[in-house]
Amino acid sequence: MFVIPNPFAGKFEEDLSPLFELGREVGEHFAPKLAELCNNAVVSYGKAVIVGTAGEIEHGAACMHPKLGKPMRAAIGGGEAIIASNVKVGPSGASIDVPLGNKDDAWSLDHCDSMTVSIPDAPRPDEMVIVIVFADGGRPFPRC
């Protein structure tokens, strides 16, 4: 999880492309480090953003959708399936459920899961929390 300033907090802006690049930068910097922490090859992934209360859902979507996925896929050696995602606006301490799915097969039910995360003092109204999740396995004891 990464807490970053929201340059558009408190104002309406049509062009959110600077946030596209911010998502790319976060992904390029942190996704390789996260992938190295897994004991085995990454098979499942997800992403989410909590936007502070001075921001809007589109700010989180702009960080997450256009360019964050490419460096995530690069860090784990590919990924054919869509990266499951979630975004919300919330106060400091807000939690978010990060959906997880198999990196290559969206219909792999053994990998459909979620992780609930929060940071007690983030996001502040002018911040965003970007979450990247990599998993090297599916749910324990799947039977679906």
In a domain, 13, yes or no: no
Residue with tokens 């970007």: 130
Structural domain harbouring 89: 2-6+18-135
pTM confidence score: 0.94
In a domain, 142, yes or no: no
pLDDT digits (tens, 9 = 90+) for 92-108: 999 999 999 999 999 99
pLDDT digits (tens, 9 = 90+) for 6-65: 999 999 999 999 999 999 999 999 999 999 999 999 999 999 999 999 999 999 999 999
pLDDT digits (tens, 9 = 90+) for 123-143: 999 999 999 999 999 989 988
Q: Any residues with CB less than 8 A from the CB of 142 and at least 6 apart, and which?
A: 109, 110
The C-alpha atoms of residue 30 and residue 27 are separated, in whole angstroms, by 5
pLDDT value, residue 24: 97
Q: Any residues with CB less than 8 A from the CB of 28 and at least 6 apart, and which?
A: 71
pLDDT value, residue 60: 98
In a domain, 143, yes or no: no
pLDDT over 90 at 144, yes or no: no
